[in-house]
Amino acid sequence: MSLIFLLLFLLNPFICILVYGLHLNLKTKIETKNFYFFYFLLSVFLGFINITKVPESDLAHHATDYLNARGLSIFQYLGLFGGGKEFVFYIFNYLFYYISEGSIKFWILVLTVFAYFPFFVAVHKFQLSINPKASYILFSICIAAFFPQLFSLSAHLIRQFIAGSIAIYFLVEKIAYRKNKWWLVILGSLIHSSSFILFILGYISFLKDRPNKSNVVKYFFLFASLIGYQLIATILLPFFSDIAGIGYALNRASSDTKFELDSFSYSNYLFIIIIITVMIKNVFTNNFFKKSTSIMFICNIVLIQIFFILINIRQLELSNRLFFYLCFFFPLIIPLQFKFKRQTDLRKLIIIALIVFFAFRLDFGTWKYDSIPQLLTSSSFNFLTRHDFKNF
């Protein structure tokens, strides 16, 4: 069956994703290999969309960095970016430049797959531990794949997206499956140091419980630390300044961010209100989810992120970057509102509305992609043989 869908994907990726998704939705048994293969193809399809994006802003900047590998040794290339700072991404850039002969489109495609596939697997595993129904899991995957705020930045804040995806996968494994994949902490932090805080939160064990008499002091010190994080970073910096990634993160955390972005948008506040409402209604006041330590753990991490965003709202770069990480938790939290079987039709309507809005944002959003008819009718060969960008 997988071979049939692969052939269909070669002929028309959009039709394949649609038919494959409907096929899996009818399954009464969750066959992991089938679902993971679907997630891989979905990741590639999103990569195909991204390679039609006209490089500008951060994408053009990252692409220029990638092309700078030409004619340099790997040590000379890493030296362009401070040598040890977040070097994992740049080692990949260097190696892939010579593997692909400097192809921009294949570079974007592979980075998109690296970004989305572990994210989809993480969402799958988390929701499987809560509600092992195919329709519920696929509903969550659709939110992960077609949430416009996330996708629009998948070929923009590239390093942060990949690090966020790794962090979510780590948190799900650590919290829902009790697997401490510590090497992912190193990997993610050396791709984008800002992800380090997410990894650390996964080790704060009392977050699995609501505040109570036995842990209220721990919660107090945690939130006090968040308020005084700059002072703490300043104290720790001399001891970790020589450690790649950690030293850089502490240096950034010890002072206000200087790069100013657009103001924190009203839509961001709306999304925060929505996710808090869903958590209050379905977790903090729901007897079933109250007993689920993994859900409580994830929700507490989300609340900590929101608190940290709001107390740093004056720092536009920091607050917007933290909100971007918050978006990765939407496919974990929002589906809790639609967990019952009787809500199946409502979930279908939401998926349709989300995909329509996703398409609308592709046509009328910030970045320029191929037209919707082109994206829906192109074969894999059309995407793979399209022109490559060379200059910016």
Quick: pLDDT tens for 47-66.
999 999 988 888 999 999 99
Alpha-carbon distance of 332 to 325, in angstroms, equals: 13
Give residue 245's pLDDT band: very low, low, confident or very high (50, 70, 90): low
User: Residue type for 329, please?
Assistant: F
Average pLDDT of the segment spanning 27-48 = 94
Lowest mean pLDDT across 32-41, 81-90, 276-285: 81-90
- pLDDT at position 9 is 97
Position 172 scores a pLDDT of 97
Average pLDDT on 11-20 reads: 97
For residue 176, how far is the Cα from the chain centroid? 18
Dump pLDDT digits (tens) for 120-169. Answer: 999 999 999 988 899 999 999 999 999 998 999 898 889 999 999 999 99
At 203, which amino acid appears?
Y
Q: Which of 38-42, 151-155, 225-229, 327-331 bottoms out in mean pLDDT, i.e. has the lowest?
A: 225-229
Predicted local confidence at residue 283, as pLDDT: 78
Q: What pLDDT does residue 228 have?
A: 80
Per the CB < 8 A criterion, the answer to whether 99 and 307 are in contact is no
Give the integer Cα–Cα distance in Å for 165 and 147: 14
With 0-12 / 13-18 / 19 or more C-beta atoms within 10 angstroms meaning exposed / middle / buried, residue 318 is buried
**Residue 36 confidence (pLDDT):** 97
**Mean pLDDT in the chain?**
89
User: What pLDDT shows up at residue 254?
Assistant: 59
For residue 180, pLDDT over 60 is answered with yes
Across 350-359, b (16+ Cβ under 10 Å) vs e yields bbeebeeebe
Cα–chain center distance at 151: 9
Query: Among residues 120, 103, 106, 112, which one has the least CA distance to residue 47?
Result: 112
Give the Cα separation of 42 and 382 in Å (integer): 17
Using one digit for the tens of pLDDT, what is the confidence trace for 188-203?
A: 999 998 898 899 999 9
Q: How far apart are CA 197 and CA 180, in angstroms?
A: 16
Tens digits of residue pLDDT in 108-121: 999 999 999 999 99
**pLDDT value at residue 259:** 57
Local confidence band at 29 (pLDDT 50, 70, 90 cut-offs): confident
Question: What was the pLDDT predicted at 227?
Answer: 85
At 213, the pLDDT band (50, 70, 90 cuts) reads: confident
Q: Which residues contact 59 (CB under 8 A, 6 or more apart)?
A: 53, 108, 155, 156, 158
Residue 265's pLDDT is 82
| pLDDT band, residue 301 (cuts 50/70/90) | very high
Tell me which range, 52-61, 246-255, 310-319, is most confidently predicted by mean pLDDT.
52-61
Q: Is residue 342's pLDDT more than 80?
A: no
Query: Helices (H), strands (E): how many in the chain?
Result: 23, 0
pLDDT at 258 over 60: no
